[in-house]
Chain A
Amino acid sequence: MLGIVVDLGYVAAQTANALFYSSILFLIASGLSLIFGIMRVLNLAHGAFYMVGAYVMYTVFTRLVSGAEVGVVAGILAAGLVLAAIGYLVEVGLLKWVYSKPEEVQLLLTFALILVFDDTVKIIWGTEYKALQSIPWGSFRVGEYLIPVYYIVTVAVAVVVAFGLWIMFTRTITGKKIRAAASYPDIAAALGVNTRILFSLTFALGAALAGISGAMAAPILTAYPGMGTEAIVLSFAIIVIGGMGSILGSFIGALIVGFSRTFMAIVYPVLEIALVYIVMALILIIKPTGLFGEREVERR
């Protein structure tokens, strides 16, 4: 035990592992949080988007492109684009018809989408785990431990995405319109904002983030049916911890969940999953809006 604690290489490897995992979680949770914070839609199918992203990566990587580096980059871009398109179609074709319906209808619809995506994935890719075989960019050594460079790349992507979202929402007129429409959609519309397009765009963006997350996860975690379920449950925990609709909240929430899972798995595995929910419950008691959630705005 003592030996483990002082082994720098081991600590570095586990930290890298936790950072990688947190980055994946941030990418998926930020999309879920965005969609909920702005459109007040709890998209249960968000995990399915993540899963489809992983399969898109698998296909691009193994079938369409040769060379691991190019394959991974192409897979991430493809997953982002495919999921943006799927998200757009789901919003325009299905969701937009149920905004004015009771919440249960939205939940039922997005739940139905999970079933549709799960079965579609099984039909196209089968039920076995799909591994990518090779991870690009190799690894570097800390003490006795090898850390994949891919971990660092994933962290960098998450940081860039977080920064990009922050710029978008604070510096661009589109971002400001989206924030306005999140509070009072009718007022924004009556002032000349085309909220219809903004909501489609927001949903497509959120779905793309889930797709990118799944694509980045695939080389390490493989692609398999049902991978979305685990991801969405943790994403809910993250946005409850961080605060609905807050990008910074998703970022911090993902770090909390990523690190507590990784280190509990080593220190006291029995509590690996439970700790996440203990933290979540504590935060709900102390600050019900989550760490970075702002006061709820009443909607008309």
Chain B
Amino acid sequence: MGVRISLRDVWVRIGPVEVLRGVSLDAGGENIVLVGRNGAGKTTTLRVMLGLLKPYRGSIVAESNGVKLDAGRIQPHVVARLGVGYVPQGRMIFPDLTALENLEVSYGSSLPGDVLEWLYSLIPDLKRFIDRKGRYLSGGEQQMLAVARALVKRPKLLILDEPLEGLAPRIVKTIVEVLKSIEEEGVSIFITESGSLARVRELVDIAYGIDRGEIVYKGPVEGIERDEKARARIWGF
């Protein structure tokens, strides 16, 4: 059941900088937050998980219902088709495409009416701007669309990169509600956060802490603030 992506001792270098230094983690099955300050390596970790970036050392395995991909065969579109949804940092809505076309590209063909109805029931605001081009959407609208775009294929694992960053409280509430309801339907989420865990705490059970490319904590979310060493490296206090 579900999708699992495992990284083992993953090392990534960008230019002269070691951005990931021996990262090991498992996504899928549980609801997880990856927390670390700006530049800690969260986005880079996600890019490795999604097959967008090849580590120079270490292994990555993605599997779903007995289909197993290892490093050589990890390609982003193949990972996606295993049942992985992705909400990128900064939303990255295709600017020349309408909201509906953004959904279609992710779905892979034109959207059946019932899929669209399902999305409207999750995120009613979508209806208001469904025919507007990406570049004319507000930040909040783009973020709702980015979540819808990741959900349209009914993924089993949803990866979100700081999806609550810079949003109005109303939008944050909408997105948190959507994530709660898809969790109830059995979707696992893997979310990143660069600041306080307050807003995501109710969504996740497990936390990974990352600092300067190293995993500095793995365990229950409640434990991370009690772990002084991890706390110091993640939040600096």
Q: Which residues of A contact B96 (CB under 8 A)?
A: 179, 182-183, 294, 297
Contact of B77 among A194, A294, A295, A297 (CB under 8 A): A194
Q: Is the CB of B81 within 8 A of A192?
A: yes
Cα–Cα distance between A297 and B81 once the two chains are bound (Å): 27
- A173 interface residue per 8 A CB criterion: yes
Q: Is the CB of B95 within 8 A of A183?
A: yes
The segment from B17-25, B99-107, B170-178, B209-217 found at the interface with A is: B99-107
- B236 interface residue per 8 A CB criterion: no
Q: Which residues of B contact A182 (CB under 8 A)?
A: 96
- A190 interface residue per 8 A CB criterion: yes
Q: Which residues of A contact B108 (CB under 8 A)?
A: 173, 192-193
Cα–Cα distance between A179 and B108 once the two chains are bound (Å): 14
- B115 interface residue per 8 A CB criterion: no
Q: Is the CB of A176 within 8 A of B88?
A: no
A interface residues, how many (CB within 8 angstroms): 22
Contact of A192 among B88, B97, B101, B106 (CB under 8 A): B106
Contact of A295 among B88, B104, B135 (CB under 8 A): B135
Cα–Cα distance between A195 and B52 once the two chains are bound (Å): 12
- B121 interface residue per 8 A CB criterion: no
Interface string of B195-209 (1 = CB under 8 A from A): 000000000000000
Q: Is the CB of A191 within 8 A of B105?
A: yes
Cα–Cα distance between A37 and B172 once the two chains are bound (Å): 35
- A190-B76 contact in complex given A173-B104, A176-B105, A177-B105, C-beta closer than 8 Å: yes
Name which residue of chain A comes closest to B134, CB basis.
A183
Cα–Cα distance between A188 and B81 once the two chains are bound (Å): 12
Closest-CB distance, A298 to chain B (whole angstroms): 10
Contact of A188 among B47, B105, B110 (CB under 8 A): B105
Q: Is the CB of A180 within 8 A of B94?
A: yes
Closest-CB distance, B15 to chain A (whole angstroms): 13
Q: Which residues of A contact B97 (CB under 8 A)?
A: 176, 179-180
- A189 interface residue per 8 A CB criterion: yes
Q: Which residues of A contact B95 (CB under 8 A)?
A: 183, 297
- A192-B52 contact in complex given A176-B101, A187-B92, C-beta closer than 8 Å: no
- Residues of A contacting B: mostly: helix
- A184 interface residue per 8 A CB criterion: yes
- Chain A residues 148 to 203 lying within 8 A of chain B, measured CB to CB, are 173, 176-177, 179-180, 182-184, 186-195
Q: Which residues of A contact B104 (CB under 8 A)?
A: 173, 176
Closest-CB distance, B225 to chain A (whole angstroms): 32
Q: Which residues of B contact A192 (CB under 8 A)?
A: 77, 80-81, 106, 108, 153
Q: Is the CB of A189 within 8 A of B77?
A: yes
- Chain B residues 58 to 107 lying within 8 A of chain A, measured CB to CB, are 75-77, 79-81, 86, 88, 92, 94-97, 101-102, 104-106
Seed contacts A177-B105, A192-B77; 16 additional CB < 8 Å A-B pairs:
A173-B109, A176-B97, A176-B104, A179-B97, A182-B96, A184-B94, A186-B52, A188-B105, A189-B52, A189-B77, A190-B52, A190-B76, A191-B149, A192-B81, A192-B108, A300-B92
> Residues on B close to A: CB < 8 A?
47, 50-52, 75-77, 79-81, 86, 88, 92, 94-97, 101-102, 104-106, 108-110, 135, 149-150, 153
What are 21 of the A-B contact pairs (CB < 8 Å)?
Answer: A176-B97, A177-B105, A179-B94, A179-B96, A180-B97, A180-B102, A182-B96, A183-B95, A184-B92, A187-B88, A189-B76, A189-B77, A190-B80, A191-B86, A191-B149, A192-B108, A193-B77, A194-B77, A195-B77, A297-B96, A300-B92
Which 5 A-B pairs have CB atoms at the shortest separation, nearest pair first? A192-B80, A189-B76, A180-B94, A191-B106, A180-B105
